[in-house]
Structure 1
Amino acid sequence: SFRRSSTSTRQSRHHTQEQSVHNSLQSRTDTIRHRSSARAMDGRKQVVLYPSPGMGHLVSMIELGKVLAARGLAITIVIVSLPFVDTSARGPFLAGVTAANPSISFHCFPQVEVPPLDSDHPEAVTYEVAGLSIPHLRGFLAGASSAVLVVDFFCSIALDVAAELGVHGYCFFTSAAEALAFFLYLPVLHARSAASFREMGEELVHVPGIPVLPATHFPKPLMDRDDPAYRWSLRVSPDLCRSQGIIVNTFRSLEPRAVDAISAGLCTPPGLPTPPVYCIGPLIKSEEVGVKRGHECLAWLDMQPTASVVFLCFGSLGVFDARQIREVAIGLEASGKRFLWVVRSPPNDDPAKKFEEPPEPDLDALLPEGFLERTKGTGLVVKSWAPQRDVLAHGAVGGFVTHCGWNSVLEAVMAGVPMLAWPLYAEQRMNRVFLEEELGLAVAMDGYDKEVVEADQVASKVRWLIDSDGGRVLRERTMAAMRRAKEALVEGGESNLTLTRLVEGWMLP
């Protein structure tokens, strides 16, 4: 559980660092904020974006800010901090964004103190922080003359402030439309049965517009009804239904069944209105800020044959224990295929350090003896991080072993790279089902839902992806999805037209 003692310790540990980052970011963005005020005086509409603190959500919201700023809107992104997140890298990242995008400014809210929560899930803290930050948001909006507030899914409580102040309130949903259908329908499922999803086990659950799912595949924070994360999630649907619209990071032709079900009101709880749905994606990182073309892994990829390399990367929170890392290594070597693998240190066993940034991995200790030397000609292991967007866009990459985070999925789609699905947390098991059964863009890694994925399963699936007729068909489907995605974004494309319609509505007096 998140208890006050451990929370206070982490807050104390990061307080000085957080304050330093906060001051640095504020000083770097003051000038830009003044420019934003000047633009408002010149008649530009002000839009405030309110992301949740998670890096994936923040990156998606920044990309939204970029496309809105390109339409002539003045953008301010408000930043909140989680007590267990190390923010040392965030300040330079945001400063880089403002330097490259003068129409975007940032405003940092003071860090709030989170009370004890009877939950093991960081999502519960994320919801709680959004709620505790409401007074800061109310004060900021009251003085900003904002025309529009766009909030992250985890910050849906802020839509109450928008209604209170007469500000147009929208939600930006950073995952799939199929996941949105589920979360909108959650109160219906809650009312239909007294059993928790954990108690339902493998029972199949029906939600309009999406494939049937076993209850075990829903996010872990929703497994128990008495968990604060579950109770917070229950209120998201009515919050969104009272909004003036839901902006989704997808494109309609990728998920037509889910989008149509939502728009038809089939996912909305009885008695609540169905807000308009705006599919404006795919929004992915427009560039890897600060990454040089000569990055080690990109230079290595330049020397590999076309579509020959399997890329393994599991997101900023995706970590495996030492045993699983060894099994992956043995499987990759046995496959005989080229690979680029991002390895992170195993999770810390200390609960107080569970969400802290792990140290650099000790590859000699984690990998089988002689592995790096034996695979020198065919593989490259990168510590902790790689420029994923640029790697996926490289012609040498022929497959992607992914945790199924939606940002990663969209980057793979935009690059036309087929996926092996290895979901780990959040809504990723749901995404796996959507990708495999509905969209046909991925195949599951055998054993992902077991205690460990064995080496022979890794080897066989990697060989299948690169060599088999089934892998070739998967690649062709993904390339077709890539073409549709790019068509959606060009002038006159479905997402481009939807964004134009949304912004033109904001411009009306």
Structure 2
Amino acid sequence: MIEATTIVLYPAPGIGHIVSMVELAKHLLLLKNQQHFSITILLTTGLLDHPSIESYIHRISTSHPSISFLRFPAVAVAAGGGITQSYAATAFQFIKSNAVNVESALRQISTVKALIIDLFCTSAIDAAAALRIPVYYFFTSGAGMLSLYSYFPELHRKTTASFKDMKGVEIVAPGNAALSAPLMPEPILDRDDPAYREMLYFCENLPKAKGILVNTFRELEPVAVKAVEEGACFPGTQRPPPVYYIGPYIAEPQQSDEATRDSKECLSWLDKQPSRSVVYLCFGSRGTFSVTQLKEIAKGLEKSGHRFLWVVKRPMEEHQEMKQVRDPAKWEFELDSVLPRGFMERTKERGLVVRSWAPQVEVLSHESVGGFVTHCGWNSVLEGVVAGVPMIAWPLYAEQHVNRNVMVEEMRVAVAVEQREGDGFVSGEEVEQRVKELMEESERGRERRKRSLKLKNMAQAALGESGSSTKELANLVQTWNGTESITD
């Protein structure tokens, strides 16, 4: 038995979700005057596993002894029983298969104050209910996505067709800009996909939680925050759960002695570049493109004339719909084989191309970086905001089109690339123009740079000792301790 008052965290598989949960754990432990407790983080085995996760866990366990990890036994990833289903459906089925492991883990841990789960881990609520453990959601996306997903059951009732088939139809959810129906988050695009029913189940359970923690801060998304607080996204719910805006939580920089040769090369190269002169391109831990698209990006970068640091992942097959690399064994490839002939030689004085990975937090905070081309994953968005770097929004999958709208229209820290309808292709000319717009003295570029620096300061203030996010997290902990909440 683990003898301690414990907060249990249960992230979805994948390094992005795990990092967000770990950052939550660290902030909980740093709160002043909090009742002493330890934190246990539950981890699945069998989906999106990668050696980088193990090294990350080791680093956190060493530096934060009050955070422990409980790794579940391996569970096979189901193939779908002979039917074709989306990757999301397979992932949700995998997580659901771990419900028995969740119950077993909770029974091992003495005096659990709360179970905090990722939205995709909703299958854990039955085990928690049986043990009378209060359940909270940690929403690792922003308030805009929380509002959309909370409203999704209502959209389900109002529509009969799949969003993917609703060409020319715009979906409007409280706190969000209108979004073309086929650009809705992938797990809810197709009513015939088992993932759709799972997402409906997840979202129907959101208002039943004891509370919802969101990795954003009030000042970053005021429109969505207002929609959530007014209950507009919870139609038919008499008492929506309390929502705590506690971010922005981003990954901590790696220690210099742990940095890989490639990461040291990136930072060393940046050290030699002028202030705010480099545009950094990275599309998340799994985002990828076809060779044709990679060559268009290269053409646009070369013609733009600007310095660049570009992270390139193994390309997908031509006309392949999935814009993600999932199998780590397939990450290796030769850069020369996927880029235009002579490109790296022609641009070697002002550009650096690296395979697969760069130390993003350190890169974005570097003095020489002046712009960020991103896939709009929420972790990357927050990292850009915290660093005060203006962005070019290029969404690929999941909820990234929703995030793009928030970045461009509400945060006003990004310009968006024009993507071809259907496959999202972006021309080299478009890449060239957006890079120039952001990096040169255009009116929109100046506005984005000014706004980015303002939000950087607001993010720092939110996490300060008397900041809005710190107060909201303290209020949550005080509800666990049965004391009064902090007020302004």
Q: Same fold (TM over 0.5)?
A: yes
Match of 1:158 in 2: 124
Structure 1 SS opposite 2:9: strand
Alpha-carbon distance in structure 1 between the residues aligned to 2:266 and 2:201: 44
Residue in 2 aligned with 1:73? 37
Counterpart for residue 126 of structure 1: 91
1:128 Cα deviation after fit: 1.4
1:120 Cα deviation from its structure 2 partner: 4.2
- 2:76 paired residue among 113, 127, 130: 113
1:324 aligns with 2:293: yes
Distance of 1:188 and 1:234 partners within structure 2: 10
Q: Is the 8 A contact 1:159 1:239 kept in 2?
A: no
Q: Percent identity?
A: 44
Task: Work out the CA distance in 2 between the residues paired with 1:473 and 1:125.
Answer: 43
Residue 471 of structure 1 aligns to a residue in which SS?
Answer: helix
8 Å Cα contact 1:82-1:126 kept in structure 2? no
- On the 8 A contact 1:48/1:78 being kept in 2, the answer is yes
Alignment partner, residue 10 of structure 2? 50
Residue 159 (structure 2) aligns with: 193
Matching of residues 284-303 of structure 1 within 5 Å = 284-288=250-254, 290-291=258-259, 295-303=264-272
Cα contact 2:279–2:307 (8 A) shared by 1: yes
For residue 348 of structure 1, report the CA deviation from its aligned partner.
5.8
Task: Tell me by how many angstroms 1:490 deviates.
Answer: 0.3
| TM-score normalised by L of structure 1 | 0.88
Return closer, same or farther for 1:459/1:430 CA change in 2, 3 Å cut-off: same
Q: What is aligned with 1:481?
A: 455
Tell me the equivalent position of 1:24: none
Paired residues of 1:187 and 1:269 also in contact (CA < 8 A): no
Match of 2:486?
none
1:390-423 residue CA offsets vs partner (Å, 9 max, x unmatched)? 0000111100000000000000000000010010
**Separation (CA, whole Å) in 2 of partners of 1:153 and 1:272:** 21
Q: Is the 8 A contact 1:159 1:170 kept in 2?
A: no
Residue 454 of structure 1, CA deviation: 1.2
From 358, 366, 369, give the equivalent of 2:338. Answer: 366
Matches within 5 A, 1:352-431: 355-357=326-328, 358-431=330-403
For residue 148 of structure 1, report the CA deviation from its aligned partner: 0.8
* Deviation for aligned residue 1:437: 1.7
Counterpart contact for 1:150–1:171, Cα < 8 Å: yes
Shift of 1:179: 0.5
Distance, in Å, in 1 between the alignment partners of 2:216 and 2:303 is: 37
Q: What is the distance in 2 between the residues matched to 1:90 and 1:278?
A: 28
Letter in 1 for 2:253: E
SS at 2:280's partner residue?
strand
Q: TM-score when scaled to structure 2? A: 0.91
User: What is the distance in 2 between the residues matched to 1:465 and 1:432?
Assistant: 16
Which amino acid is the alignment partner of residue 403 of structure 1?
A: H
CA distance in 2, matches of 1:422, 1:436: 11
Residue 354 (structure 1) shift? 6.5
Deviation of 1:369 (Å): 1.6
Q: How far 1:292 moved relative to its partner?
A: 6.7
Residue 341 of structure 1, aligned match among 300, 303, 310:
310
Corresponding position: 1:492 with 2:461: no
TM-fit CA distance, 1:351:
11
- After TM superposition, give the deviation of residue 116 of structure 1 in Å: 3.9
TM-superposition CA deviations, 1:187-226 (whole Å, max 9, x none): 1001012121122223111211221211122012211111
CA distance in 2 between counterparts of 1:463 and 1:50 reads: 42
Task: Quote the Cα distance in structure 2 between the aligned partners of 1:160 and 1:216.
Answer: 33
SS of 1:89's equivalent in the other structure is helix
Q: Which SS does the other structure have where 1:207 is aligned?
A: coil
Residue type at the aligned position of 1:391: V
Q: Distance in 1 between matches of 2:450 and 2:279?
A: 16
Does the 8 Å CA contact 2:119/2:137 hold for their aligned counterparts?
A: yes
Which residue in the other structure is 2:217 paired with? 251
> What does residue 284 of structure 2 align with?
315
Distance 1:115 1:364, change over 3 A: closer
Paired letter, 2:63: A
Q: Measure the CA separation in 2 of the matches of 1:223 and 1:201.
A: 12
8 Å CA contact 2:46, 2:76 repeated in 1 = no
1:244 deviation in Å?
0.4
Deviations 1:288-307 (A, max 9, x none): 25227971111111111111
3-state SS of paired residue (2:51): coil
SS class of match (1:319): coil
* Structure 1 counterpart of 2:455, one-letter code: A
Question: What's 1:458 paired with?
Answer: 431
SS at match of 2:127: helix
> Is the contact between residue 290 and residue 317 of structure 2 (CA under 8 Å) also seen in structure 1?
no
Let me know the Cα RMSD of the aligned residues: 2.1
Contact map agreement 2:286 2:325 (CA 8 A) in 1: no
On the 8 A contact 2:7/2:40 being kept in 1, the answer is yes
CA contact (8 A) 2:277 2:306 kept: yes
> Residue 105 of structure 1 aligns to which amino acid in structure 2?
S
Could you list the runs of 5+ residues in structure 2 that have no partner in the other structure? Answer: 484-488
